[in-house]
């Protein structure tokens, strides 16, 4: 019977309980592992919630961006004491953090450089395990008026529908477009396919008088700009 006992936060010494610590000392007093322990609620038959949280963080290099890439199945399969409910709670919390970041930067007044593009789109793309292709739609003042995910693919690529891109641009009265996609591999080098689709979209834009300002490849830590490297006219 003792093998089925789970160590919860209440089983810790009072000074080690993250919930009580949060109430008494505030959010900033808690380490990352303690915040994750609150999400877990309980540990396993062998360790407390805080110990389990530390083990999870260690597996992901003590880096929340790396933990943000974890799937429900990976968390369940790799950690004793983590079932559907706990894994879903962690994944949901990571997604909320990502969405919060994306909303905080959405009000950039205008795009003045490739760094502005990176700052705007990084929260959406930087820690994904698959490729996504997004567009930023701009007005004449280079202010972002809308953004859309055009396609979602696998680890090595995604299929982009040129017609959908310009349908969104026309519907939103955009005068220019910025293309963005991520490379989960971490490589900043544009593929042959990246260059071909960029040229194809650029040529279509000329016909519709909608300029392609840039195509930015995003990784966790950096970016590659087609415009900065003279790959866009």
Of the residues 86, 102, 118, which one is the last residue of a structural domain?
102
Of the residues 102, 124, 148, which one is the last residue of a structural domain?
102
Do 179 and 214 touch, CB atoms closer than 8 A? yes
The shares of helix, strand and coil residues in the chain, as percent rounded to the nearest 5, are 50, 15, 35
Of the residues 70, 102, 134, which one is the last residue of a structural domain?
102
**Domain carrying residue 94:** 2-102
Whole-number Å distance between alpha carbons of 130 and 218: 12
- pLDDT of residue 111 exceeding 50: yes
Whole-number Å distance between alpha carbons of 38 and 44: 14
Whole-number Å distance between alpha carbons of 157 and 229: 22
Domain count for the chain: 2
Do 184 and 129 touch, CB atoms closer than 8 A? yes
- pLDDT of residue 12 exceeding 60: no
Tens of pLDDT along 188-223?
A: 999 999 999 999 999 999 999 999 999 999 998 899
Are 96 and 117 in the same domain?
no
Contacts of 202 (CB under 8 A, 6+ apart): 212, 232, 233
Do 166 and 186 touch, CB atoms closer than 8 A? no
DSSP label at 190?
A: P
pLDDT class for 102, splitting at 50, 70, 90? low
pLDDT for position 156: 55
Global pTM reads 0.64
């Amino acid at each position: 019977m003792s093998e089925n006992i789970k160590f919860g936060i209440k089983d810790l010494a009072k000074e080690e309980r993250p919930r009580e610590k949060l109430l008494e000392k505030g959010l900033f007093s808690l380490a990352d592992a303690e915040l994750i322990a609150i999400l877990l609620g309980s540990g396993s038959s062998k360790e407390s919630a805080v110990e389990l949280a530390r083990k999870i963080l260690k597996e992901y290099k003590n880096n929340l961006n790396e933990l943000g890439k974890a799937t429900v199945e990976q968390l369940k399969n790799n950690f004793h004491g983590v079932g559907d409910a706990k894994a879903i709670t962690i994944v949901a919390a990571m997604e909320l953090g990502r969405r919060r970041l994306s909303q905080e930067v959405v009000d950039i007044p205008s795009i003045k450089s490739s760094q502005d593009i990176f700052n705007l789109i990084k929260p959406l793309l930087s820690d994904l395990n698959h490729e996504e292709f997004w567009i930023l739609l701009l007005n004449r003042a280079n202010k972002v008026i809308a953004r859309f995910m055009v396609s979602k693919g696998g680890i090595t690529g995604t299929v982009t529908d040129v017609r959908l891109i310009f349908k969104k641009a026309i519907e939103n009265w955009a005068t220019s477009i910025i293309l963005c996609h991520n490379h989960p591999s971490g490589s900043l080098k544009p593929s042959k396919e990246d260059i071909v689709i960029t040229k194809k979209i650029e040529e279509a834009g000329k016909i519709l008088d909608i300029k392609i300002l840039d195509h930015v490849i995003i990784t966790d830590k950096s970016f590659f700009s087609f415009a900065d490297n003279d790959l866009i006219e």
